[in-house]
Amino acid sequence: MKEGRKVKKLMLIVATLLYFSSFTLALDGFLKPSAPKNLISIPGDGEITLKWTENDPSENVIYYNIYQVASAVVSASVTKLYIKIASTEYKYTKLVSGVKTNSYTVTGLANGQKYTFAVTAVNVDGLESDYSNITSATPKDNPPSFIKTPEVSYISSNSVIIEWETNEECIAKLQYGLDTTYSLGEVTSDILKTSQSISISGLNPSTTYYYKAIAIDRNGQETTYEGSFITSAVSDTTPPVIFDIETHPNDTTCVILWKTDELSNSTVEWSVDLSFSSKKEISLYTKDHEVTLTNLTPSTTYNLRVYSADPSGNASLMTTSTFKTLATPDTIAPSPPENVFATPGDKEAEISWTPSVSSDVAYYKIYRLTLMPVLEKEVSTSSINSILYRKVKASSEVLKQKIVGLTNGVTYTFYVTAVDYAGNESDPSDYVSVTLSSTAIPSMNRISFIFCIILICFSFIFIRRRLGEL
C-alpha cells in the first residue's frame, strides 16, 4: 500500500510539472517582451556604439542581448537560425548577453569594415523577445602612424634618400626646400605600401634642406613628419658592392635576389644564350634587391647578370649567374610558422614567431581575426574572417613585428602565414590572443567546479530524503 501511494504521489508531481510546462510554453508568445525599438549604430575608432529605446517597465525586462547579423541570398529552406525577410536571410550570432542598459559599445572591430547588429530583450522569466530592427555601421579608420620615422638613409653632395615605414599601406609625398615653405618641389610615390623610399637629386653641396614627409592611407587620411639634412661637400665616387645573389625559379618565372653594401637601384639582364638581350630595371634604391622575371620557358636554362648603381650614378661590376626553370608549376605551399607569441603594450602588440621549416619562404603575413563580417552572397561559419596587417620579409631567425593603433582593454587574436616565391600561402599558424593593458583576474574555474560538485551531492541527498518521506 505504501509503495502504491509513493508511486501515485510521484506520478501526481510529474503530471503537475508537465501541465505547468505546457501551459508556460503555450503562453510563451504572449508573455515574452516586445522587441527593442529604434536601434541605431554610431561608428568609432575600431568600435561601434549601439543605442536603442528601453522597453516599457511593465514588460519586466532585466537585460538585453547583442547579436551580430550576417545576410545572405535565400537558399531553399528556412531554419530556426534564419529569419526570412523578402529575398534575404539573416543569421544572428550572439555577441554579448546581460546588457543592463539601453546602449553598448562593441570593440575590437576592423576599421573600414561594415558590421550589422540587432538587439533582443529578456524579461524576469527568461523569455527573449524577437529581434529588433537591424542597424549597420563602419568603424572609422585611424590616420596612419609612423612605425619608423622618416630618416636619411643615403646622402651625397647632390642627392638624398629618405625612408620611413607606416603601420598601414600608404602613398608617399616628400616636399623639400631651403626653408619650411618647401618651395623647391615635391616627389610622390603613388604605390600603396608600408615601406617608402623617396630620392631627391639635383641638390647643391654643403647645403641645408628642409623636408616634410607625408603618408596618406587609402581613405585619404594622412600623417606628416618634418626634418632637415645637409648635403655632403665631396661627391660620392664609390660604386656599390653586390653579394648574396639568389635565384628562385618556377616554370615561367624566376625571382632574383641580391644585396648591396649601400642603397642602389636594380638591373637584371638575361637570355638563353650569352647575348643578355632581355632587361629589367627597378629604379627604387635599396640594399635588398628583388626582381621577378616573367614569360620564361619551362625547363630551360638561362644566363643571368645583375648590377646596381647608387644615387650618384656609380655602377657596380656586373655579376653573372645561371638558373633553370621548372618543368611544371610549383603548387606546394610552405609549412606554417611556429611558436607564434603576442606581447601586449600600450595600444600595440608585438607578434613574434619562429620561421617555417620550408626553405623557399619569401615573406610572412600577419593577420588579425575579426568578428564575422556581413556577407552579401553567402554565410560561411567555416571560413576565416581576418584582415591582413603586415608583410614581413623572410629570415632564418625569430621574427618580430609590432602592430600599432590598437585599443587598450581589448582582446585581439592574430595568426601568421608563410608565402613562398611562387605565391603559395601556407595554412594559418596557431592562433594567439592578447589583451592590451588588462588586469589579471584570478581564475575561479576550479572553485566553481568544486562548488558545483558539492551542490549536486546535497541535491541528491535532499531528493532521496524527500522520496523516503513519501
Amino acid identity of residue 184, one-letter, is L
Q: Are 332 and 424 in contact (CB under 8 A)?
A: yes
CB atoms within 10 A of CB 305: 18
CB atoms within 10 A of CB 367: 21
Distance of CA 81 to the CA centre of its chain: 28
Q: Are 394 and 361 in contact (CB under 8 A)?
A: yes
Give the domains, in start order, of the chain with CATH numbers: 32-137 (2.60.40.10), 146-230 (2.60.40.10), 242-324 (2.60.40.10), 338-435 (2.60.40.10)
Q: Which helix (H) or strand (E) holds 72?
A: strand 61-73
Which residues fall within 8 angstroms of residue 78, CB to CB, at 6 or more apart? 84, 89
| Predicted pLDDT at 455 | 60
pLDDT along the chain (470 residues), means of 10: 55 50 46 90 86 92 92 44 47 90 89 87 92 87 86 93 91 96 94 91 95 91 94 91 93 94 94 94 90 96 95 88 95 92 88 89 85 36 46 68 79 88 91 72 45 60 59
The two beta strands, 301-307 and 319-324, are antiparallel
| Predicted pLDDT at 144 | 87
- How many CA within 13 A on the CB side of residue 231? 25
Residue 194 to residue 388: CA distance in whole angstroms: 12
| Predicted pLDDT at 396 | 58
| Predicted pLDDT at 457 | 62
- Phi/psi class of residue 202: alpha, beta or left (left: φ > 0; alpha: ψ in -120 to 50)? left
Q: Name the pTM for this structure.
A: 0.58
| Predicted pLDDT at 372 | 42
Residue with cell 626582381: 291
Residue with cell 574572417: 385
Amino acid identity of residue 277, one-letter, is S
Per the structure block, which three cell numbers stand in for 224? 606628416
